Amino acid sequence: MSLKDIKGQDYTISILRKTIKNSRFSQGFLFYGNPGVGKYITALNFAKAINCKKSDLDSCDKCISCRKIENFNHPDVFVINHEAQKNSIKIDDIRRLQANMSLKCYESDRKICIIRDADKMTLQAQNSLLKSLEDLFEKSIIILTVSNLESILPTVVSRCKLVRFNPLNSEILDKIISEKSEVSDSDREYIINLSGGSLEKAFSLLNDKFLKQREELIGLMSEKKDKLLFYEPDYESRNDIMQILDFMISWYRDILLIKKDVDSLVVNRDKINILSKIAKYSKLDKLIKIIENIIDAKRKILGNANVKLTLEDSMLKICELEGVV
């Protein structure tokens, strides 16, 4: 794979190619945008293109340099990738980076370090990285990929060239998901609408368990509202709970949008008939209160509150607002 194969980021890729063409590299690059929009894969292929032995504006994918970077055994390209462990990036990781970056180049003109999900850096790690950004050798480049720009120290941000990654558009997501999954057309459309342009989120929603839970919840939120009180979702992680709560928010927001005559923004399009029926007898202020209540539950759970108790409390409030208890 090379830069030309990256989907949905044409403008960003054109900027990176221009950087390579003019050979005007910042010492720090900060790739930012939603999770799952191609930041890391672009960083890796940007590194390949910079160090490629054969091609000028992209990687050839065949030379020894391209192959070594692809296999993570290039002596001049160092990657910190905690994606699998989901751990924070600590000062020891940055020290390893500094040790690596202080060595001379072995096989290429530039040393490149990529820090994936750099928003996982602890404050100490960020302060240590800041020192590296100030003292880097001229031909060294550090690329950070970040989903949450607010978690990066302004002093680190100011030392980097910011490169924005947009959410992926629906056609691209549709094409990728169709190639890799056999989900029905209506489920695919709904998942794409809920994904916010993130391939990572779309794939995390693409599972039978979530789709079944969605149907169960639709039954509860449309016909058996009093049973919401006893709703106990089957979940393994806080992320599963976030998916369920995000879906509930999307449901009530859709009702609100239909009431406001902006049907075109409805996410759960496959359920538009049910939503329209509910919209006829739902009051705006009630919908707003329900949505605020679910957002509050999300905030509490993200802050490590007890999941069961928070959900019970939230469902009780929804039932009270719906007037079924």
Q: Catalog residues that contact Zn ion under the rule CB under 5 A.
A: 52, 54, 59-60, 63, 66
Number of CB atoms found within 10 A of residue 214's CB: 23
Which spans in the chain are helix H? 10-22, 39-51, 64-70, 91-101, 123-135, 154-158, 170-180, 185-194, 199-205, 208-222, 238-259, 272-281, 284-302, 307-322
User: What minimum distance in Å lies between the beta carbon of 7 and Zn ion?
Assistant: 21
User: What minimum distance in Å lies between the beta carbon of 58 and Zn ion?
Assistant: 9
In sequence order, what are the residues at sequence separation of 6 or more whose Cβ sits closer than 8 angstroms to the Cβ of residue 307? 235, 238, 241, 301
Given a contact cutoff of 8 angstroms between Cβ atoms, the answer to whether 184 and 153 are in contact is no
The strand pairing partners of 29, in sequence order, are 143, 161
User: What minimum distance in Å lies between the beta carbon of 31 and Zn ion?
Assistant: 21
User: What minimum distance in Å lies between the beta carbon of 62 and Zn ion?
Assistant: 6
Report the distance separating Cα 285 and Cα 280, nearest Å: 14
Given a contact cutoff of 8 angstroms between Cβ atoms, the answer to whether 195 and 173 are in contact is yes
Task: Using the minimum distance from each CB to Zn ion, give the nearer residue, 59 or 268.
Answer: 59
Report the distance separating Cα 168 and Cα 250, nearest Å: 19
User: What minimum distance in Å lies between the beta carbon of 141 and Zn ion?
Assistant: 17
Task: Using the minimum distance from each CB to Zn ion, give the nearer residue, 60 or 325.
Answer: 60
Report the distance separating Cα 46 and Cα 223, nearest Å: 52
Task: Using the minimum distance from each CB to Zn ion, give the nearer residue, 108 or 213.
Answer: 108
Task: Using the minimum distance from each CB to Zn ion, give the nearer residue, 25 or 32.
Answer: 25
Task: Using the minimum distance from each CB to Zn ion, give the nearer residue, 63 or 295.
Answer: 63
User: What minimum distance in Å lies between the beta carbon of 113 and Zn ion?
Assistant: 19
Task: Using the minimum distance from each CB to Zn ion, give the nearer residue, 74 or 317.
Answer: 74
